[in-house]
Amino acid sequence: MDATELFAPLAPTYDRYARLLSFGQDPRWRRFLVSRLDVGPEDTVLDVATGTAAVAIELVGRTGCRVVGLDQSREMLEAGRGRVRAAGLDGRIELVEGTAEELPFGDASFDGLTFTYLLRYVDDPAATMRELARVVRPGGTIAMLEFGVPRGLARPAWELYVRTGLPVLGAAVSHGWRRVGSFLGDSIRDFHRRYDVPGLWRGAGIESVQSRRLSLGGGLVVWGRST
């Protein structure tokens, strides 16, 4: 399913209900993602699939860096610009329209890069990883947040939630959130069945790849260094 078609109508309510439907875990995962970046006020980070700029704002607040946030959804970017203005960060965050598959930046343009919930929506995750790595200077950190599939005793509870609870709760919010709730479980499960995520990173030439499963495996953060 096309991510723009799915999420663009949700832009005004995205942050509120993403927090609610993840039982408050989504902001926690994003904070951990940002903590993986070793950057400071003189550095510039590219945040891909920036959405409503939640990670971009967290990056500036934690590190003082400059951020360029990129997203293919005009509606999400408009919501993000409102958040950036409200936070008084217009001078530190620039939001631009574009796609992860063809980044409008030169090689080694950034000191670090983050992306969230991206690889499930691109046609060629391996090629997208190579394109993301291309724009980061050697030694710069690249970090990703994605949904995970829990293991062991947590798996049945996760399956029950994504098969039944998430669609029902989404429908209680709006038609758009019902579509998201009905789509996510299969999307997450299929992605992790088809791809070895750390392998995708290493195949893109990224070194020192590490990962952390969060909230019993419901969230996954992966990070490494560009070469």
In contact, 210 and 224? CB cutoff 8 Å = yes
Phi, psi for 58 (deg, rounded to 5): -65, -40
Check residue 139 and give its pLDDT: 98
Check residue 7 and give its pLDDT: 66
Check residue 162 and give its pLDDT: 85
| Gap between the Cα atoms of 192 and 35, Å rounded | 24
Check residue 173 and give its pLDDT: 74
**Mean per-residue pLDDT over the chain, rounded:** 91
Examine the pLDDT at 3 and tell me if it is beyond 70.
no
| Gap between the Cα atoms of 174 and 79, Å rounded | 18
Residues 73-82 have pLDDT tens digits of 999 999 999 9
Residues 43-77 have pLDDT tens digits of 999 999 999 999 999 999 999 999 999 999 999 99
What is the pLDDT confidence band of residue 122, given thresholds at 50, 70 and 90?
very high
- Using only C-alpha atoms, the chain has a radius of gyration, in whole angstroms, of 17
In contact, 195 and 203? CB cutoff 8 Å = no
Q: Summarize the confidence of residues 116-122 as an average pLDDT.
A: 94
Handedness of CA 107, 111, 112, 113 (dihedral sign): negative
In what side-by-side order are the strands of the sheet with 93-97? 93-97, 66-71, 44-48, 110-116, 136-147, 219-225, 207-214
Residues 178-207 have pLDDT tens digits of 777 777 889 999 999 999 999 999 999 999
Residues 127-167 have pLDDT tens digits of 999 999 999 999 999 999 999 999 999 999 989 988 887 78
Residues 8-42 have pLDDT tens digits of 666 677 777 677 678 789 899 999 999 999 999 99
DSSP readout, 52-110?
TTHHHHHHHHHH--EEEEEES-HHHHHHHHHHHHHTT-TTTEEEEE-BTTB-SS-TT-E
How many CB atoms are located within 10 Å of the residue 178 CB?
Answer: 17
Examine the pLDDT at 1 and tell me if it is beyond 70.
no
DSSP readout, 143-204?
EEEEE----TTHHHHHHHIIIIIHHHHHHHH-HHHHHHHHHHHHHHHHHHHH--HHHHHHHT
